[in-house]
Structure 1
Amino acid sequence: MTLPFDLRALQVFLAVVDQGGFGAAARELHIAQSAVSQSIANLERRLELTLFHRHERRIALTTEGEALVAHARQLLERAETAHLAMRELHDLVKGEVRIGIPSMLGSYYFPPLLMGFKAQHPGIRLTVVEAGARRLQHMIASGELDLGVVIDDGASRHLARRHLTREEMVVCVPREHPFAEYYSVTPEAFFAEPLVLFQDGYFHREFIDTLSQRCGTEANIAFESNLIPLTKAIVRRGFGITTFLRRVVEEPDLAAVSFDTPSWMDLSLAWAEGAYLSRAEQAFVDFVLANR
């Protein structure tokens, strides 16, 4: 579709209306009066309408010209708004990043990164979704999330990844538990204890299920909870033990003990393979990788 006018023509038209004449409009726009006259003539020809009554020393809007004024102002205002929005995005004044984070990382690893990024880019909105690592992979693939933290195990080849951190999964027990004095704990000894575990879909539970299958021992599940504070409270009171990333256990009344073969998890920042990253999203990726 070919429009009968462009924004510059409307700008000239409104200058003539607001200034009350071609000469005054030319001075306002810093162009020749002949250029103003030519622009209006071209606009009228393309619209096939007369916009001004022309008298010897004055002009007046026709009915058609009066009708165009309101539309012209709205179009120019919207164009200015669009231009400002694009400039803000270009300069990272505005934007949005939707990121999914597993609860352990969301509570104990990412807060300083999120706050640091927000301090640098206060106009960018951060939407943080907490979910299990596997669920996050599906949300990224479906476009529900722009970015997410996933287990770097190669299970999802449709994701582009950047390595984020390597964390040890440790046994978490209260300080008075016998394991607290151990250098390491065997999987068999761990599974003999009542356990407090995350529900299916979280890398915490996936780690336990894999370990259980590997050593041929069934987990003795006493509680299931995805709430880290509740899980810690249960462990403190001696109703069960659990596993966490080591940094999650850094509290005076809890002890972190390695498995007899230390267990490590590689976690990556990921997005859909081949997906376009906006300037805000790319800035977030760059910031996280630079400050991990």
Structure 2
Amino acid sequence: MALPFDLRALRVFVTIADHGGFSAAARELHVAQSAVSQTIASLEERLDVQLLHRHERRISLTPEGDILCQHARELLAHAEAAHLAMRELHGLVKGEVRIGIPSMLGSYYFPPLLMGFKAQHPGIRLTVIEAGTRRLQQMIHDGELDLGVVMDDADSQSLERRHFLREEMVVCVPHDHEFAQRNAVTADAFFREPLVLFQDGYFHREFVDTLARDTQYQPDIAFQSNLIPLTKAIVRQGFGITTFLRRVIDDPGLAAVSFDPPAWLDLCLAWSARAGLSRAERAFVDFVVDHQQALTDHHDQEPE
């Protein structure tokens, strides 16, 4: 029994959904707008449903179109993975890795790993996206990323994962703050201070939200920013305190103080359980795990 659509039609449909119109999709696909319109008209006819609401200046998905779009993204991701695997087997390309990394890791942990991997595998193309861990999980699910960094307690069963980093989360304060003279800071003392936090969806924010929930404290959020240099500047000027992975606090105007009890964060590389890993992606995962010692120069501070 023949399917009522092909991958080309699905790609056209998804491109329209992503770009909000026929003209934009035609430009993205480098085809005539009439060809895009004909493809969608044919797809709707064969499926016997309306996929798009055609407004005067924009296009939106019907409920049927939204359902098809979800399945289409998965099918296209699987097709791309199969195509890449076959090309790898025939030696036509060395592969590509699309990886999502939270900003804290992208700035302070991953640069030497990315450069080291590229030096070892010069034919593999790396595409790096910055986003929060929850957004990265969704992008992996949608086939927009091959790999992403997530917290070890991520509850999505659609992900496979490998642990690669255990690092201490510490309190970050100005060097002249009273906490800077302490050996450790309790959650009670931490939550009595104005806080500078990342926005929702980042592991930094999830750590603080979880700590607040477990200790039944209400955070006093003075600033929200995903920009690490800005957050450091705000803390340095005394307008609030924050928490970072220990390595991130490399500024002489800032001090890193452990929580009481110490707080450790476990992070993993994750990928779609259904899509699996290509040879290039597997090579990247193995490289990161094999070189995880380079990620943390504070391993001797881990608890017994």
Normalised to the residue count of structure 1, the TM-score between the two structures is 0.68
Counterpart in the other structure of 2:101: 101
| Kept after mapping to 2: 8 A contact 1:98/1:126 | yes
Query: What is the 5 A alignment of 1:37-186?
Result: 94-186=94-186
- 1:266 aligned onto 2:242: no
- The code of the aligned residue for 1:148 comes to G
Pick the structure with greater CA Rg: 1
Per-residue CA deviations over 1:213-246 (Å, capped at 9, x if unaligned) read 2222211111100000110111111111000011
What is the distance in 1 between the residues matched to 2:89 and 2:105? 28
Instruction: Give the match's secondary structure for 2:276.
Output: coil
Instruction: Give the match's secondary structure for 1:122.
Output: coil
What is the distance in 1 between the residues matched to 2:282 and 2:121? 13
What is the distance in 1 between the residues matched to 2:116 and 2:92? 15
Per-residue CA deviations over 1:78-125 (Å, capped at 9, x if unaligned) read xxxxxxx97777659632110001111111110000000111122221
Counterpart in the other structure of 1:241: 241
Judged with a 3 Å threshold, the aligned counterparts in structure 2 of structure 1 residues 175 and 123 are, in CA distance, closer, same or farther, namely same
| Kept after mapping to 2: 8 A contact 1:179/1:185 | yes
Displacement of 1:251: 2.7
What is the distance in 2 between the residues matched to 1:205 and 1:92? 43
Instruction: Give the match's secondary structure for 1:188.
Output: helix
- The code of the aligned residue for 2:193 comes to E
Identity of aligned residues (%): 75
Counterpart in the other structure of 2:286: 286
Greater shift, 246-255 or 181-190, is seen at: 246-255
Instruction: Give the match's secondary structure for 1:210.
Output: helix
Displacement of 1:209: 1.1
Displacement of 1:276: 3.1
- The code of the aligned residue for 1:288 comes to V
What is the distance in 2 between the residues matched to 1:187 and 1:276? 40
- The code of the aligned residue for 2:268 comes to S
CA RMSD of aligned residues (A): 1.8
- 1:220 aligned onto 2:214: no
What is the distance in 2 between the residues matched to 1:90 and 1:282? 17
What is the distance in 2 between the residues matched to 1:135 and 1:193? 29
| Kept after mapping to 2: 8 A contact 1:92/1:279 | no
| Kept after mapping to 2: 8 A contact 1:106/1:130 | yes
- The code of the aligned residue for 2:280 comes to A
Instruction: Give the match's secondary structure for 2:150.
Output: strand
Judged with a 3 Å threshold, the aligned counterparts in structure 2 of structure 1 residues 251 and 175 are, in CA distance, closer, same or farther, namely same
| Kept after mapping to 2: 8 A contact 1:93/1:121 | no
| Kept after mapping to 2: 8 A contact 1:169/1:246 | yes
Displacement of 1:286: 1.4
Instruction: Give the match's secondary structure for 2:261.
Output: coil
Judged with a 3 Å threshold, the aligned counterparts in structure 2 of structure 1 residues 218 and 282 are, in CA distance, closer, same or farther, namely same
- The code of the aligned residue for 2:163 comes to H
Displacement of 1:291: 0.8
What is the distance in 2 between the residues matched to 1:232 and 1:259? 19
What is the distance in 1 between the residues matched to 2:141 and 2:270? 10
Judged with a 3 Å threshold, the aligned counterparts in structure 2 of structure 1 residues 259 and 146 are, in CA distance, closer, same or farther, namely same
| Kept after mapping to 2: 8 A contact 1:93/1:122 | no
What is the distance in 2 between the residues matched to 1:122 and 1:93? 11
Displacement of 1:168: 1.0
Greater shift, 158-167 or 87-96, is seen at: 87-96
- The code of the aligned residue for 2:184 comes to S
Counterpart in the other structure of 2:231: 231
Per-residue CA deviations over 1:117-151 (Å, capped at 9, x if unaligned) read 11112222111111111111111112110001100
Instruction: Give the match's secondary structure for 2:193.
Output: coil
What is the distance in 2 between the residues matched to 1:110 and 1:183? 29
Gaps of 5+ in 2: 1-84, 293-304
What is the distance in 1 between the residues matched to 2:219 and 2:175? 22
Displacement of 1:278: 1.6
What is the distance in 2 between the residues matched to 1:97 and 1:193? 41
